Chains A and B, each alone.
Chain A
Amino acid sequence: MPSPSPTIEPPHGPENPPTTRRALVRDSWAVGAATGVYGLSFGAVSVASGLSTLQTCLLSLVMFTGASQFAFVGVVASGASPFSGAASALLLGTRNTFYGIGLAPRLALRPARRALAAHVVIDESSAMAVTRPDTASVRTAFWHTGGSVFLLWNLATLCGALAGDALGDPRTFGLDAAVGAAFLALLWPRLGTATNRRVALVAAIVAITLVPATPAGVPVLVAGSVALLVGLLSPEEQR
């Protein structure tokens, strides 16, 4: 559901990575493909955790936020109450609220379309969209990334659920490393200011420190909040 408005094309060059509409669509679908494949492992893990194929597919269709989905089935698999699984999933989902706060003014959508857009507010669509220079390219990056992840993630979930453990591990193809590289590439252009570099460093250190101590997903949330606080308490930089 891309925006029909034309995109202003800045000159290409080392200082201006390609942001033509075509390049943006291609990059968005590349992120969608790299992320969507992980639906295979979600589908397989979910049925292995005791959920039905229908429940597994509903999680991808309706919850549609990967870390929360993994948290839900992970807690259910551990034998804990499904309600504590729901609590973990919702805790992780709060980061999408923050993404929405950043996205809403940049997307500038009418309420009806905003309600639809809210469904595809996830890590990838937010990261691809928030730094774009104009509304048209914010919308293009958002809808194409969100749409491609939604489509491919759900197809992959169904395949993973049906095939179960018979399928190969996406790790064989290094796709786990690709996701980290994609997040880094998205972070890279924002490391220009000292505050942002400090925030990034604090977030990475806090996240790594928390990994052994907290359930999966919590480190990102806590590290994000702590680093945000550090950034807000830092003095404003002269521009």
Chain B
Amino acid sequence: MNDSTTLWVALGIACVGAYLLKWAGMSLPQQVLDRPTARRAAALIPVALLAALVAVQVVASGTRLVLDARLAGLAFAVAALLLRAPFLVVVFGAAVVAALLRLA
């Protein structure tokens, strides 16, 4: 296989595999999902992944930890959420705070 063929084959495997991983989760039999452990897991998975995503979105830059304007954006988001601000205010307020800090 030349380099171009290798790239195309790997790309095809990754694309088809990514879809099958999504489809498998959607197609597991209901009996599996009705077990108490599966129900608890299904409820906890979003909590675990969202918290990890927040952490990584805010301090990771590739494989480095970087403290920058994103942290100020997150601080704004926390304050806005404590004040029960609407979703759009939380999200775009955080963007504005970070953008303004970068301009400064």
Residues in chain A within 8 A of chain B (CB atoms): 14, 17-18, 26-27, 30-31, 34, 51, 55, 58-59, 62-65, 68, 72, 76, 81-83, 85-86, 89-90, 93-105, 107, 111, 114-115, 117-119, 121, 123, 126-127, 130-131, 171-188, 190-191, 195-196, 199-208, 211-216, 219-220, 223-228, 231-232
Can you list 18 A-B pairs with a CB-CB distance of less than 8 A? A30-B88, A31-B91, A55-B11, A63-B18, A89-B17, A98-B25, A105-B33, A121-B22, A174-B96, A177-B69, A178-B73, A178-B94, A181-B90, A216-B63, A219-B52, A224-B48, A227-B48, A231-B44
- Among candidates B8, B25, B51, B100, residue contacting A187 with C-beta atoms closer than 8 Å: B51
Is there an interface contact between A185 and B18, defined as CB atoms closer than 8 Å? no
Residues from chain A with a CB closer than 8 A to the CB of B55 are 203-205, 207-208, 219, 223
Q: Give the distance to chain A from B37, nearest Cβ to Cβ, in Å.
A: 7
Task: State how many residues of chain B have any CB contact under 8 Å with chain A.
Answer: 76
A100 to B24, CA, bound (A): 8
Is there an interface contact between A90 and B69, defined as CB atoms closer than 8 Å? no
Is there an interface contact between B57 and A176, defined as CB atoms closer than 8 Å? yes
Residue of B nearest to A73 (CB): B11
Is there an interface contact between A58 and B15, defined as CB atoms closer than 8 Å? yes
Residues from chain B with a CB closer than 8 A to the CB of A183 are 50, 53-54, 57
Q: Which residues of B in the span 71-104 have a Cβ within 8 Å of any Cβ on A?
A: 72-74, 76-78, 81, 84, 86-88, 90-100, 102
Is there an interface contact between A119 and B22, defined as CB atoms closer than 8 Å? yes
- Among candidates A76, A89, A93, residue contacting B22 with C-beta atoms closer than 8 Å: A93
Is there an interface contact between B52 and A121, defined as CB atoms closer than 8 Å? no
Is there an interface contact between B21 and A94, defined as CB atoms closer than 8 Å? yes
